[in-house]
């Protein structure tokens, strides 16, 4: 049982701002299990209590899941004072949505946005080793030796030893057209197109892995996260709800050891 303040819960559910919700409560329009709520601080259990506004029940514990194609320039945070946060791109009135994990401000691609804390916890748990695949454009020629170094675990520590877990680096012959984000043609001759799959989420991990082998990431896009793949037809900055099938995949994925 997790209790939460009535006004917070209603605001999270997208009923209105905290001030508007308090006004509804004061007017006696909000009932909890049939009784008009006495005060905004009243503690309620969203999973058990029946909460209505004007007699209309509110489904407060409904979990929501969105897949977002994050654009560059947005931070993976939910603070109210950050206007370019990723949650502002989601078409929902809920106030309790948050991104599952982080992508750098300049990184694009797949972000899962939800209000399901348990699922987020599982997907981010270091014990689960959730696979994340990135497509990247690299300044310099990535070689088969680099593939071997990544497979063995590259040291990304600046001074101390900080060896990344083995990662699967794949050199592509050409840009992934649907994801390629133009690098000027002169430079193109000296760039490589790769995908890399990692199973941890260290700060700036992919950039640091390439930096450690003397190469820099010019463009980075996450194309998969656990069982989820970025849909090719999802335009940048757009999101959609997870399909029933994607949700099933996610649920069975987090059950695995």
The catalytic site residues sit at 104
Least distance from ligand URA to the Cβ atom of residue 204, Å: 4
Cβ neighbours of residue 172 closer than 8 Å, sequence gap 6 or more:
192, 193, 194, 195
Dig out the tokens for 88 from the structure: 């502002």
Q: What are phi and psi of 20, to 5 degrees?
A: -65, -40
Residue 114 touches ligand URA, criterion: CB under 6 A: no
Residue 92: CA atoms inside 13 Å, Cβ hemisphere, count?
25
Residue 70 touches ligand URA, criterion: CB under 6 A: no
Size of the site for ligand URA (CB under 6 A): 8
Least distance from ligand URA to the Cβ atom of residue 103, Å: 4
Residue 130 touches ligand URA, criterion: CB under 6 A: no
**Among residues 192 and 205, whose Cβ is nearest to ligand URA?**
205
> Is the separation of the CB atoms in 102 and 205 below 8 Å?
no
User: HEC string of 143-192?
Assistant: CHHHHHHHHHCCECCCCCCCECCCCEEEEECCCCCCCCCCCCHHHHCCEE
Q: Which stretch binds ligand URA (CB under 6 A): 53-61, 78-86, 100-108, 234-242?
A: 100-108
* Residues in 173-232 at the binding interface with ligand URA, rule: CB under 6 A: 204-207, 220
Residue 131 touches ligand URA, criterion: CB under 6 A: no
Contact footprint for ligand URA (CB under 6 A)? 103-104, 107, 204-207, 220
């Amino acid at each position: 049982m997790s209790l939460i303040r009535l006004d917070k819960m209603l605001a999270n559910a997208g009923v209105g701002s905290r001030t508007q919700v308090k006004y509804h409560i004061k007017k006696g329009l909000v009932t909890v299990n049939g009784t008009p709520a006495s005060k905004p601080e009243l503690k309620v259990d969203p999973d058990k209590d029946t909460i209505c506004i004007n007699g209309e029940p509110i489904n407060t514990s409904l979990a929501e899941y969105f897949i977002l194609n994050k654009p560059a320039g947005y931070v993976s945070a939910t603070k109210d004072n950050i206007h370019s946060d990723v949650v502002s791109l989601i078409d929902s009135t809920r106030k309790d949505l948050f991104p599952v994990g982080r992508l750098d401000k300049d990184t694009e691609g797949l972000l899962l946005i939800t209000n399901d804390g348990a699922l987020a916890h599982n997907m981010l748990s270091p014990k689960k080793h959730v696979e994340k695949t990135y497509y990247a454009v690299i300044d310099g020629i990535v070689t088969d030796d680099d593939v071997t170094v990544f497979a063995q675990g590259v040291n990304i520590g600046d001074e101390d030893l900080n060896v990344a877990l083995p990662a699967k680096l794949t050199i592509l012959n050409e840009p992934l057209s649907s994801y390629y984000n133009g690098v000027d043609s002169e430079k193109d001759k000296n760039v490589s197109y790769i995908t890399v799959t990692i199973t941890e989420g260290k700060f700036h991990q992919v950039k640091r892995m390439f930096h450690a082998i003397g190469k820099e990431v010019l463009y980075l896009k996450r194309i998969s996260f656990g069982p989820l793949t970025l849909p090719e037809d999802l335009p940048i900055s757009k999101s959609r709800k997870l399909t029933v099938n994607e949700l099933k995949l996610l649920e069975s994925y987090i059950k695995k050891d």
